[in-house]
Amino acid sequence: MTYRLAPIDTSTFTAERGASGTDVGDLTVIGSVVQRSDARGHVTGRTEFFEDVAPPRLAHLKMHRSARHHARILDVDLTEAVAVPGVLRILTHADIPNNLYTPLKLIGVGPDDEPVLAVDKVRYLGEPICAVVAETEAAALEGAARIKVTYEDLPPVFDVEEALKEGAPLVNEYHGQNHFIYEGHHCRRIRFGDVEEAFARADHVFEWRYQSAPIEQAPVETTGCVVVPQADGRLRIHSDTQACFFTLDNTALILETPFNTLRIVGGTVGGGFGGKVDVVVEPVACVAAMLADRPVKFVYDRAEEMQVSSPRAAERIIIKDGVMNDGRIIGRKVTLYVDAGAYSRHSPYGTTKAAAHLPGPYSIPNVWADCHCVFTNRTPSSAMRGFGVTIADFALESQMDRIARALDLDPLRLRLLNAYRDGDLKAHRKVAEGTALVEVIQKAAEMAGHELPEAYRRMSSTTREGL
Amino acid sequence: MPSQIVSLIVNGEQREFIAAPGATLLASLRESLGLTAAKRGCAQGACGTCTVLVDGRPEASCLVAVETVAGRSIRTLEGVAAGGELDEVQSAFVDCFATQCGFCTAGMIMVAEALLDANPEPSEEDVIEAISGNVCRCTGYRPIVIAVLEAARRRREQVVSR
Ligand code: FES
Ligand code: FES
């Protein structure tokens, strides 16, 4: 078997290790092999995913979705759809007890800004308008296809900077402007020292712009749930959510029901990567199950997964640095835009994470940042693997490489020179502790055969000596 | 088109059921026969999670109208090592960490079974070619390729490991 064990390198931070035989002395867990507890179920096909549940009398739910990016809804005609054989029920916004929500309400983020089913307006292509419940999947699809919506088009806005301009079309009326407000401020801000003064005395000033596209998590199992009404009136929800209790609480708020009337069976997720953190299928499936008094399955097809499930946000990041001839960065100014799409979902939080990550793992005495969470007529974006942080890192580390190239410096030495050390005050007024960037760079250099001069090899995260 | 009675040999057993018009082999296995190891990742032949063996050949069961395989022999993951002891492919997938979420696993294992039946000594390229129709979003494929090569080695040496 060619599975490789990574040996543990005990040469760094020796002072922080205890004697052999003590708990801190024998750090043996990382690098050791432990069989996955779920592997046997996976290789025998006995792991139960939500869609493997097949209650009798299962009904199927399919969505009629917006065909426009931004439009007023003038009329919804269900006549032909209700006549499709096998269609049991068609849900509109009027059937949802508490139609307006936002998932981070649970941690105090507001306002509620998203309808479960569209009311008078659609704000992105694919927004759900009506839910068709039918005996078979085919009948539900047929019913959904026969719903006729009359729209009055509104001008859409797709670009974050366009959206913030005066006179831009208003995407989300619940906010009243095209950006999220952070404690009375138009964006999440960092103010540390004086960047303008730093730029004035810097030997060089570099400003570059970075842009990322939205990224779909693309789990192999699509988002979905099966809701089964229980004899005692409670609902059992089999779901592939990544966040069982978060889903339960949000669903209860939307259903206007006590939390204990719902039960989630979950934890088995066929790939999530952040894409199954929003609460988008369970609430409407629960309403359908209650109204039809039957088990209901609502699962995205592959096209829905790609088009309407919330991706990683597109970000635009502009970084301006004041740099001395020796490579020391004395000022960093960052303007960052997160494209939340039409609704908040997890983006206000993602934008805060981006701000918290600035100016990267470097000690820079003057930092200024404006991080905007912007609403556009794009698919709502949300969580994905380190959202807020990953794209910021792409921009920050590209910036470091470009500075090194412009000044003809070794990119690793440039980073070692600017790397934060234990005890440094970060831009958010937190003292850095447990930093290990210096050692990681030294080790990476060694493994890659990249030569560092003795002075750089002697640097440490625990002291500013040698700087 | 009316529903019809279809009979298949599934994992060595004769099974008969009523197939709705247009029912796929995947839907029949999962919904009519309760064999849920094969998964629906895309329902359009693009991901391979629904792969089963039809007369020993891997097929995307989401694309197969069930009446077109009436009377044929179907093998699913439930039929691999049905006695409870893992076979070489299954045990190599466990030991080489070739599963993460597990959603692609049934399809991957069925493809690997077909490959090793036809070619007991596959090269790395053979393995990559064999799983090229199967999507895994979690593992990055490397552990799966390693596991299939390891399974081939175990099968050749008849190493049975649990
Ligand atoms: S479900 Fe059959 S190939 Fe994807
Ligand atoms: S293990 Fe998750 S898709 Fe392969």
Confirm or reject: Cβ of A271 under 6 Å from ligand 2.
yes
Q: Specify the CATH number for A188-215+311-457; select among 3.30.365.10, 3.40.109.10, 3.40.50.1220, 1.10.3720.10.
A: 3.30.365.10
Across the range A341-345, mean pLDDT stands at: 98
Examine the pLDDT at A5 and tell me if it is beyond 80.
Answer: no
What is the pLDDT at residue A200? 98
Domain assignments of chain B as residue spans, ordered by start: 4-79, 82-161
Q: Model confidence at B162, in pLDDT bands (50, 70, 90)?
A: very low
Query: With contact defined as beta carbons under 8 Å apart, do A240 and A225 qualify?
Result: yes
Give the pLDDT confidence of A21-58 residue by residue, as tens digits. 565 556 666 667 889 999 999 999 999 999 999 999 99
Using the mean position of ligand 1's atoms as its centre, give its distance from the Cα of residue B41 in Å.
Answer: 5
With an 8 Å Cβ cutoff, is A5 touching chain B? no
Q: Per the CB < 8 Å rule, is A43 touching B137?
A: no
Minimum CA–CA partner of B82 in chain A:
A44
Q: Model confidence at B1, in pLDDT bands (50, 70, 90)?
A: confident
Q: Per the CB < 8 Å rule, is B77 touching A138?
A: no
Ligand 2 atom at shortest distance from the alpha carbon of B108: 4
With an 8 Å Cβ cutoff, is A444 touching chain B? no
Give the pLDDT confidence of B86-121 residue by residue, as tens digits. 999 999 999 999 999 999 999 999 999 999 999 999
- In the numeric block, which tokens belong to residue B69? 């395989």
Give the pLDDT confidence of A412-437 residue by residue, as tens digits. 999 999 999 999 999 999 999 999 99
What is the pLDDT at residue B54? 98
CATH numeric code, A54-154+222-309: 3.90.1170.50
With an 8 Å Cβ cutoff, is A37 touching chain B? no
What is the pLDDT at residue A2? 46
Confirm or reject: Cβ of B101 under 6 Å from ligand 2.
yes
Q: Which CATH architecture has domain B4-79?
A: Roll (3.10)
What's B82-161's CATH class? mainly alpha
What is the pLDDT at residue A11? 74
Give the pLDDT confidence of A189-242 residue by residue, as tens digits. 999 999 999 999 999 999 999 999 999 999 999 999 999 999 999 999 999 999
d(CA A31, CA A5): 6
Domain assignments of chain A as residue spans, ordered by start: 54-154+222-309, 188-215+311-457
* Complex ipTM: 0.96
Q: Which of residues 5-34 of B touch A (CB under 8 A)?
A: 20, 22, 30-31, 34
Minimum CA–CA partner of B42 in chain A:
A302
- In the numeric block, which tokens belong to residue A91? 């849900």
Confirm or reject: Cβ of B29 under 6 Å from ligand 2.
no
Across the range A106-131, mean pLDDT stands at: 97
Chain B residue numbers touching A48 (CB-CB < 8 A): 36
With an 8 Å Cβ cutoff, is A40 touching chain B? yes
Ligand 2 atom at shortest distance from the alpha carbon of A220: 3
To the nearest whole number, what is the mean pLDDT of chain A?
Answer: 95
Using the mean position of ligand 1's atoms as its centre, give its distance from the Cα of residue B36 in Å.
Answer: 14
Confirm or reject: Cβ of B104 under 6 Å from ligand 2.
yes
